[in-house]
Structure 1
Amino acid sequence: MKTTAARGSLPGLLVIWGLTRTALLLCVLKVIVFPGPDVTSDVSVIYRGWYDVLSTGTFPLDDVTWQYPPAAALAVLSPGLLPFLEYATAFFVLAFVADLVTLALLLYAGRGPGRTRRGAWVWVAGVPLLGPTVYARYDVMVTAVAVAALLAGARHPRLMGALVGFGALVKVWPALLLLAVRRRGAWVSAVVTGVGVAALFAVLMPGAFAFLGFQRDRGTEVESLGALVFHVARHHGWEGEVLLNYGSVEFLGPYVSWVSTGALFLTGAAFAWLVLWRVLACRFEPHTVADAAFVGVLMFTVTSRVISPQYMVWLVGLAAVCLCFRESRMGVPVGMVLVACLVTVLEFPVWFAHVVASDALGISLLVVRNGLLVAAGLLAARTLWGTTVPGRRAIPTASGSARAAEVRVPS
């Protein structure tokens, strides 16, 4: 009966995917007007401008908004594969294809013993919750690479490593997918691929690593966790301002550098915790690699100086891979991330003006969204630790009484 039900759910899943993705395409093509600022301008203006520069064989050296590793150029140049379409339209079509590829990977991964289609459902539901921003940024393409890497890890560690190495040179964060990987082949493949691709860009295109300086100089973006300090401070005499800076809306003024430094400290603390976990963890199940990747990326997202709406696509993709495994215990954190996606589309683009104005609605949306992410990160980290690190666990006594004996047992 379970098999029959699972097969019966597939047509429904595909219908929902088709309807929601059609709606997203209609929004980015402006057949349907989505409330809030135009989210497609990044593609039609910024990406299009980068495309013109990159096509000449160099990176946009004088543009501080270019803050991406060198292989990101491939995503920006990809609409050239569809020369019969206008640039923005071609980009949206390729984002749609990346979405479809991700769904196909998750459906394939959901087959067999110990697997489930819950992961595919997470992807089908999570992406439209973020609104048209998903198709108006290249993050969905990176997420497709990351999902492919995680799902390849069990049987093809070298392929996983190659995909991770390539993905890290598109947008850095896929490097965290290796957190729980123990096979040396995956690490070697990742390093070889990463170094090889980086060297190729360094030789062929000037300015491949200029982004490092631009990224270093960023401030505190208005949607980040640290930004809540200034949203509140604006109502108590803080003399800073909100401006478009380095390609995002950021706080500028007194004490901003302090908060930005604090965010970097939290990121460092998260990394230290992950290293400690990796040293102490000794129980690895088939789902542990995906769970650890989800926890790592979630922690780095929460502590970042920037939490752009498209970052949530990464979390949805990794959450979907986690729930492809029936034994994964990340269900509650994944649910919290999905709720955070719904709040995210409300704070951007629907009511972004309220966020920029730091009014009650804008602050409330950020408190809820960022609070959900913090809670999800803490709960996911605790779950990962509890399922992989040996420790003290309460077990019933032999007499069957309500009391429990504390003994040291493997988790």
Structure 2
Amino acid sequence: MTDGGTAAASAPRFRRFLGGRAALWIAFVLVHVGLAWLNLTAQGLPLGDVTGVYLRWAENAVHGWVRVGIDMPWVYPILAFAPMTAALAFGAEWYAQAWLAMVALLDAVAFSILIGSARLSRTRRTAAWWWLGFLALLGPIALGRIDAITVPFAMVGLLMAAGRPRVASVLLTIGAWVKVWPAALLAAVVIASRRRREVASIAIALSIGILGVSLFAGAGLNAFGFVEEQAGRGLQIEAPLAVAWLWQIVAGSEDVRIHYSRDILTFQIQGPGADAAAALTTPVMAVGVLAVVLLGVRAVRRGAVFGRVLPPLALTFLVVLMLANKVGSPQFVAWLAAPVVLGLVYRPGRFAVPALITAAIALFTQVIYPYWYGWLLVADPAFVFLLTVKAGLLVVLLVWGVRALWQAGSRRDPAPPTT
């Protein structure tokens, strides 16, 4: 056989290999090992929050000094303390490695559920490859924050929402008590599911139980401290709204500057109107969420099937939370993986556009953070432009989601095939 014939014969075998589970798992390991290495070695201290903040909180509690969320108000819901403490199992010197291993393990569980054990369908294979590409594009921040703990819970919760809504409710509720954002996905499931009362009842009962344990531990009103802590934040420089003030700095304004808040450990905007804009984000977010709820309810009442409503509804909820947010931290982009993966499983053709847009947002995020974050801190025009483009892409995602929800309530489609 000629060299050309050998290559032609091996090409189908290679394609079959890429279409199988072995290739997916090899890629999963390579992506996570690469991201772990970047977290441990890359410039910009991508694991800084984990080793500099989470570790300190965990050690303070272990030594009996102070328990955040119980003895004092905290920026996160109470269950966020569980993974932070668990990563201390092998000692402070191995805290970073334990954290990365824990996130990788949770991702592996979600990945195994995504690709399943039966015959691997084309849609699930596409979604799995997209998620791995998304993680690589997003970079070290995909593993190096508390948000990374919640993404697998959110993803599996959405994937199970159709067939096992009780499990979905439990997973999304746990995720919401680690970091609030999965509550938006829970709301999307409640709206889209025919078993919404069951989903809501389980979520409420589990939340009462979590709060009860917190109160029994002595938390008191500190159990709700994350609400007050978030409300007291200023306008963080990564927030989409902040680009208006960053461009003023680029233009040479002396009235606007970037300062570091030692209370919440973030860089924020100081300047005319910045505090008012930060205060307006909460009502704007509430209005945006209400509008998305109404779109979702409209679609369901007009007979739109579950698989047509839930993916765009979940995505649109999250985009509203990101756009109308005074914080805008880079790790928020990790949230988008859950609804996009669900959309690629249910309707890969329809979700091709948001999948590409979300991948681009992930890439721009990694370019800005962590490697060259210092350029954004001095309002370098190129990096302010990148942040502006990223915000613009989020707006495009919002428009796409609103349009998809409106169309879902405007015509009836047959249910997509089970995958």
Both structures adopt the same fold (TM-score exceeding 0.5): yes
Distance 2:311 2:206 in 1: 21
Is the CA contact (8 Å cut-off) linking 2:344 and 2:351 kept in structure 1? yes
Q: C-alpha offsets along residues 294-343 of structure 1, whole Å, 9 cap, x if unaligned?
A: 22112211221111111111112321122112466222012101111001
What is aligned with 2:386? Answer: 365
What is aligned with 2:243? Answer: 228
Is the CA contact (8 Å cut-off) linking 1:333 and 1:377 kept in structure 2? no
- From 143, 146, 160, the equivalent of 2:151 is 143
- From 223, 227, 230, the equivalent of 1:212 is 227
- Matched to 1:41, the amino acid is G
Matches within 5 A, 1:64-103: 66-82=74-90, 86-103=94-111
Is the CA contact (8 Å cut-off) linking 2:296 and 2:309 kept in structure 1? no
- From 274, 296, 300, the equivalent of 2:321 is 300
1:192 aligns with 2:205: yes
What is aligned with 2:163? Answer: 155
1:240 aligns with 2:249: no
User: How large is the Cα RMSD of the aligned pairs?
Assistant: 2.6
Q: C-alpha offsets along residues 353-378 of structure 1, whole Å, 9 cap, x if unaligned?
A: 12111121121111111111111121
Distance 1:163 1:17 in 2: 23
- From 32, 36, 41, the equivalent of 1:25 is 36
Matches within 5 A, 1:5-404: 8-10=18-20, 11-30=22-41, 34-35=42-43, 37-55=44-62, 56=64, 58-59=67-68, 66-82=74-90, 86-108=94-116, 115-178=123-186, 179=188, 180-183=192-195, 184-206=197-219, 207-234=222-249, 235-245=251-261, 246-281=264-299, 282=302, 283-326=304-347, 329-386=350-407, 388-390=408-410
- Matched to 1:152, the amino acid is M
With over 3 angstroms needed to count, the CA separation of the structure-2 counterparts of 1:365 and 1:114, relative to structure 1, is closer
With over 3 angstroms needed to count, the CA separation of the structure-2 counterparts of 1:54 and 1:319, relative to structure 1, is farther
Distance 1:119 1:277 in 2: 26
Distance 2:160 2:355 in 1: 21
Q: State the identity as a percent.
A: 24
Is the CA contact (8 Å cut-off) linking 2:236 and 2:326 kept in structure 1? yes
Q: C-alpha offsets along residues 73-132 of structure 1, whole Å, 9 cap, x if unaligned?
A: 112112144459722221111112122222212212995778432211121100121111
Alignment TM-score, normalising by the size of structure 1: 0.86
Distance 1:146 1:248 in 2: 26
Comparing 102-111 with 190-199, greater Cα deviation is found at 102-111
- Matched to 2:313, the amino acid is A
Q: Kindly indicate which of the two structures has a greater share of residues assigned to helix.
A: 2
Q: C-alpha offsets along residues 149-188 of structure 1, whole Å, 9 cap, x if unaligned?
A: 1122122111111122221111111111132233121111
Q: C-alpha offsets along residues 33-54 of structure 1, whole Å, 9 cap, x if unaligned?
A: x24x111121111001110233
Comparing 337-346 with 73-82, greater Cα deviation is found at 73-82
Distance 1:318 1:344 in 2: 19
- Matched to 2:50, the amino acid is V
Deviation at 1:202, TM superposition (A): 2.2
Comparing 92-101 with 341-350, greater Cα deviation is found at 92-101
- Matched to 2:168, the amino acid is M
With over 3 angstroms needed to count, the CA separation of the structure-2 counterparts of 1:214 and 1:317, relative to structure 1, is same
- Matched to 1:182, the amino acid is R
With over 3 angstroms needed to count, the CA separation of the structure-2 counterparts of 1:110 and 1:153, relative to structure 1, is farther
Is the CA contact (8 Å cut-off) linking 2:162 and 2:193 kept in structure 1? no
SS at match of 2:269: strand
Q: How many residue pairs end up in the alignment?
A: 386
Q: Which runs of 5+ in 1 are unaligned?
A: 391-408
Distance 2:153 2:124 in 1: 21
SS at match of 1:153: coil
Is the CA contact (8 Å cut-off) linking 2:55 and 2:92 kept in structure 1? no
Is the CA contact (8 Å cut-off) linking 1:25 and 1:92 kept in structure 2? yes
SS at match of 1:136: coil
Alignment TM-score, normalising by the size of structure 2: 0.85
What is aligned with 1:402? Answer: none
SS at match of 2:177: helix
With over 3 angstroms needed to count, the CA separation of the structure-2 counterparts of 1:274 and 1:210, relative to structure 1, is same
Is the CA contact (8 Å cut-off) linking 2:234 and 2:278 kept in structure 1? yes
- Matched to 1:304, the amino acid is N
SS at match of 2:289: helix
Distance 1:373 1:94 in 2: 30
